[in-house]
Structure 1
Amino acid sequence: MSAAKTKAQGIIDDNAVAVFSKSYCPYCKATKALLSDKGAKFYTIELDQVDDGAAIQDALEEMTSQRSVPNIFIAHKHIGGNSDLQAQKSKLEEMLKDAGAL
């Protein structure tokens, strides 16, 4: 397994909610705002601000078939991107509670 894939999997495994993001991405900002509004504890890694960000993004694509950011995991399960998260707004609080992120 590549170092980037190991790092990505470690972030997913170690955090109830993990957001793989880019600092300038408006969809990432919307995701982080929604999670913050819900009071969720979540881990964010800004892929444009870490040396191995491109490699992590490649690894995430291998793992999830999703290349775009944000790439969101709740309770170690791949949720998808911002539109997927927004679509689950009604269930989000329950998902976050179940994940131990509230």
Structure 2
Amino acid sequence: MARVEMYSKTFCPYCSRAKALLDSKGVAAEEYNIDGGGPKRDEMLNRSGRMTVPQIFIDGRHVGGCDDLFALERAGKLDPMLRA
């Protein structure tokens, strides 16, 4: 199973949707909460170049946010990435 990392905030509905999709696939994402900013937020910005959450990485590859994750699912590309 691939390593999935997700930068998120506590009350973010998009983060909740992305997490629910991953949970439905039996994937436990390593979640980094950036509510208070700090080094993890800076890390997210450096890795993704984006300021919004969630930012999701599969095996170190940036796949984007919630909409991007669902687009991969609709295209049938998410499952192969998770199995890698």
Q: TM-score range by the shorter chain?
A: 0.7 to 0.9
Larger RCO (alpha carbons 8 Å, 6+ apart):
2
TM-score (norm 2): 0.85
TM-score (norm 1): 0.71
Q: How far is 1:92 from its partner?
A: 1.0
Matched-pair contact (CA < 8 Å) for 1:47–1:54: yes
Q: Where do 5+ consecutive residues of structure 1 fail to align?
A: 1-14
**Please, which of 22, 31, 38 is the counterpart of residue 54 of structure 1?**
38
Please state whether the residue corresponding to 1:88 is helix, strand or coil: helix
Alignment RMSD = 1.6
Q: List aligned pairs for 1:83-102, cutoff 5 A.
A: 83-89=67-73, 90-98=76-84
**Please, which of 64, 80, 85 is the counterpart of residue 48 of structure 2?**
64
Q: Deviations over 1:11-67 (max 9, x none)?
A: xxxx8100111010000000000000111132112211xx6x333223321232111
Residue type matched to 1:22 in 2?
K
Matched-pair contact (CA < 8 Å) for 2:58–2:81: yes
Identity %: 38
Q: Where do 5+ consecutive residues of structure 2 fail to align?
A: none
Please state whether the residue corresponding to 2:77 is helix, strand or coil: helix
Could you list the structure 1 runs, at least 4 aligned residues long, displaced by more than 4 angstroms after superposition.
none
Higher helix share: 1
Larger Rg: 1
Please state whether the residue corresponding to 1:20 is helix, strand or coil: strand
Aligned match of 2:9: 22
